Amino acid sequence: MGRVTLQTIADQLSVSRMTVSNAFSRPDQLSDELRERILSTARELGYAGPDPAARALAKGTTGAIGVLLTDSLQLAFSDEVATEFLGAVVEGLAPTGLALTLITSNGRDDVVPARDVAIDGALIYSCDPTSEAREWLLRRRLPLVFVDQRPRAGIGSVNVDDRGGARAAAQHLLDLGHRGVAILCPAEYGSAPSHPDAQRVVGWTEALRAAGVEPQVMHTTRDARDDPSDVVHAVLAQPQPPTAFLCFSDVLAFGVIQTAKELGLAVPRDLSVVGFDDTPAARVSDPPLTTVHQDVTAKGHLAAAALKEAIDEARQGKAARARHRLLTTELVVRGSTAPPPR
How high does pLDDT run on average in the chain?
86
Confidence of residue 181 (pLDDT cuts 50, 70, 90): very high
SS3 call for 121: coil
d(CA 71, CA 127): 8
Q: What is the pLDDT of residue 145?
A: 96
pTM of the model: 0.78
For the ranges 111-115, 122-126, 276-280, which has the lowest average pLDDT?
A: 111-115
Beta strands per DSSP E along the chain: 64-69, 99-104, 122-125, 144-147, 156-160, 181-186, 216-220, 244-247, 272-274, 291-294, 324-327, 329-332
pLDDT for 85 equals 94
- Greater confidence (138 vs 28) lies with 138
**In this predicted structure, which of 46-50, 229-233, 238-242, 268-272 has the lowest mean pLDDT?**
46-50
Top CATH class of 162-294 equals alpha beta
Lowest mean pLDDT among 71-85, 167-181, 182-196: 182-196
Q: Each residue of 198-249: pLDDT tens digit?
A: 899 999 999 999 999 999 999 887 555 667 888 999 999 999 999 999 999 9
* Same topology between domain 6-50 and domain 162-294: no
Residue 246 to residue 197: CA distance in whole angstroms: 14
Each domain of the chain, given as residue ranges in start order, spans 6-50, 64-160+297-325, 162-294
* One CATH from 3.60.20.30, 1.10.260.40, 3.30.200.20, 1.10.10.1100 for 6-50: 1.10.260.40
| Percent of the chain surpassing pLDDT 90 | 54
CATH of span 64-160+297-325: 3.40.50.2300
Report which listed range, 94-98, 103-107, 130-134, 291-295, is most confident.
291-295
For residues 126-142, give the mean pLDDT: 84
With 50 as the cut, is the pLDDT of residue 109 above it? no
Residue 124 β-bridge partners: 68, 146
Q: What is the 3-state secondary structure (H, E, C) of 156-173?
A: EEEEECHHHHHHHHHHHH
- Dist. CA 137–CA 110, nearest whole Å: 12
Give the number of other CB atoms < 10 A from CB of residue 281.
16
Residue 190 has pLDDT above 80, yes or no: no
